[in-house]
Amino acid sequence: MRIRRFAPAALVLLLWSCKPSDPNQASPPAGDAAAPAGRDEKVAPPADAAPAAAPAESVSTPPAPASQRLDPLVPQGKTGDPAARPGLKSTPSGLQYAVLQQGEGATPEPGRRARIHITGWIRVRDALGPQIVDSRESKIPKEFALTPTDLVAGLLEAILDMRAGERRWVIVPSKLGYGLSGYGRTVPPNQDLVFDVELVDFR
């Protein structure tokens, strides 16, 4: 009697355990899904998708040729020749200069007396620093003997190469200026100097 009473229940459990899995069974939540190990699936872009734009290249201006590079200290379009763009020239001693206005006639000889208009500054890197002399403010040229006792070596070299009426922008390195000693409180030691000098005349 007991066996016949529980036989239907046992049969139901047996049939339920043998039930095939439902192919439409819901997949696990997206957060628990993981791609099979070793499989790298890539999604191809749609056929009509526009190609990705290449990164924009920065446009750079090529450097100017060495012959066109100008020292930032050299004035452009100075009095006497507004269209001039003078470049620096160097002498074997290390002096640098640019001709701002052409002169005429012969060059002076050492020992002569010359009248010059001169404005001078201490060079601070690539800029003009404190002004140390200016004859143009008074409009009266200064007179010097063209000797090492009256002029520093750099100015003397420049003026002896100039003609009357010529004007130059002159960059004097410290060794051709006041050097290690400087000049009182006006020029500290080891300072390069910059001059705007014009040879008015000489005798």
CATH classification of the domain holding 132:
3.10.50.40
Instruction: Please check whether residue 167 lies inside any domain of the structure.
Output: yes
pLDDT, residue 104, reads 92
Q: Is 83 exposed, middle or buried (0-12, 13-18, 19+ CB in 10 A)?
A: exposed
Instruction: Please check whether residue 116 lies inside any domain of the structure.
Output: yes
Instruction: Please check whether residue 85 lies inside any domain of the structure.
Output: no
The answer to whether 143 touches 203, Cβ cutoff 8 Å, is no
Q: Is the pLDDT of residue 123 over 90?
A: yes
Neighbouring residues of 168: CB distance < 8 A, sequence distance ≥ 6: 97, 98, 99, 100, 158, 162, 196, 197, 198
Per-residue pLDDT tens for 7-46?
555 444 544 455 555 545 444 444 444 444 444 444 555 5
pLDDT, residue 54, reads 52
The secondary structure of residue 69, as a DSSP letter, is -
Instruction: Please check whether residue 21 lies inside any domain of the structure.
Output: no
Instruction: Please check whether residue 27 lies inside any domain of the structure.
Output: no
Instruction: Please check whether residue 7 lies inside any domain of the structure.
Output: no
Domain with 136 in it: 90-202
What pTM does this model have? 0.63
Of the chain, the percentage scoring pLDDT greater than 90 comes to 53
Can you point out the beta strands (E) in 68-166? 89-90, 96-101, 113-124, 127-134, 142-145
Q: Is 143 exposed, middle or buried (0-12, 13-18, 19+ CB in 10 A)?
A: middle
Instruction: Please check whether residue 26 lies inside any domain of the structure.
Output: no
pLDDT, residue 96, reads 95
Instruction: Please check whether residue 175 lies inside any domain of the structure.
Output: yes
Which is higher by pLDDT, 21 or 176? 176
76 in helix, strand or coil?
coil
pLDDT, residue 46, reads 53
Structural domain count, the chain? 1
Of the chain, the percentage scoring pLDDT greater than 70 comes to 60
